[in-house]
Amino acid sequence: MSEAPLSLHDAIYTLRAMRRLKPDPVPEEDLRYVIDAATQAASGENTQSWAFVVVTDAEKRKRIGDVYRQLAETGIPSLIEAAADESEARVYRHALRFAGRFGDVPAMIVCCLRGPHPTGESATAQATWYGSILPSVQNLMLAARSRGLGTVLTTMHIFSEADIKRVLGIPDEFSTVAIIPIGYPEGEWRQPVRKPSGEVTHWNEWGIQR
C-alpha cells in the first residue's frame, strides 16, 4: 500500500532546518519538482526574475563547501561567544558543525535573483527585492519536505558571493540570495521550536493580545 501524501499542514508544521543529510543522491525528478514548486511563488510585479542553479557535481560541491566552511570558521566562533543565550549559541554551533560537511551534501540549489543586492536603497526597494525570491525558497523547502527531503536555508555564502558565482559561472547581472542544501535527512521530522503565535499576535491595536 502506498503512503498517503503529506498534507500541507503537516509539511508546514514539521519543516525545520535539516543540517544532517545522508549522502544518497536526490532523484533528478525531485530536484525538478522542488524548483517547479518554487516557480509557482509570487514576486513583486510578477517579475519572476529568479534562477536556480542545481549543483550535484562533486567537484563543484566541494569548492562551494570549502568557501562556506572557511567563512563559517572565520565568523561563527565569535558569534557563539557573543550569543545572547544558550539556544542562540546552539544554533551557531549547529551551523558551524554543518559548515564542515557543507560540501558533502548530495545536492545544493543556489537561488539567484536578477540585479544587485539592494544595499543602500529604500526599505521598500529592499523588501520588494528579497521578497521576490524568499517566497519561492519557502515553496521549494515545503515541496522538498513533501517528498521526504530535508533542506536548510543558508545565506552565509553571500560574504564570499563572488567566489560562489565564479564556481558556477553565474553572470554579473544575477545575485545569489540563498544556497539550499537538499538531501534525505539523518534526523527526525518534528515540529520545530517556535514562540506561541498568540505571543506575537495583536488584535486591532498593538499590545492587545487574547
Ligand X SMILES: Cc1cc2nc3c(=O)[nH]c(=O)nc-3n(C[C@H](O)[C@H](O)[C@H](O)COP(=O)(O)O)c2cc1C
Site for ligand X in 64-123 (CB under 6 A): 91, 95, 98
Q: State the nearest-atom distance from the C-beta of 152 to ligand X, in Å.
A: 5
> Binding to ligand X by residue 152, rule CB under 6 A?
yes
* H runs (alpha helix) in the chain: 8-14, 28-38, 58-82, 86-99, 123-130, 134-146, 161-168
Q: Which of these, 145, 110, 122, lies nearest to 33 by C-alpha position? A: 145
Measured CA distances, 69 to 10, 65, 93 (Å): 33, 6, 13
Stretch that binds ligand X, among 4-12, 41-49, 113-121, 150-158 (CB under 6 A): 150-158
Which residue number, 62 or 94, has a Cβ lying nearer to ligand X? 94
| Dihedral, 113, 116, 117, 122 alpha carbons, nearest 10 | -110
> Binding to ligand X by residue 201, rule CB under 6 A?
no
User: Which of 6, 79, 89, 156 lies at the binding interface for ligand X (CB under 6 A)?
Assistant: 156
> Binding to ligand X by residue 17, rule CB under 6 A?
yes
Grid coordinates 544556497 are at which residue?
Answer: 179
Pairwise CA distance, residues 183 & 197, whole Å: 30
Cα angle 197-7-48, degrees, rounded to a multiple of 5: 80
Q: State the nearest-atom distance from the C-beta of 28 to ligand X, in Å.
A: 25
In total, the chain counts a number of residues equal to: 210
Q: State the nearest-atom distance from the C-beta of 82 to ligand X, in Å.
A: 16
Which residue number, 19 or 147, has a Cβ lying nearer to ligand X? 19
> Binding to ligand X by residue 191, rule CB under 6 A?
no
Q: Which of these, 49, 24, 25, lies nearest to 39 by C-alpha position? A: 49
Stretch that binds ligand X, among 1-9, 20-28, 152-160, 202-210 (CB under 6 A): 152-160
User: Which of 192, 201, 202, 209 lies at the binding interface for ligand X (CB under 6 A)?
Assistant: 192
Which residues make up the interface to ligand X (CB under 6 A)?
Answer: 16-17, 91, 95, 98, 152-156, 192-193
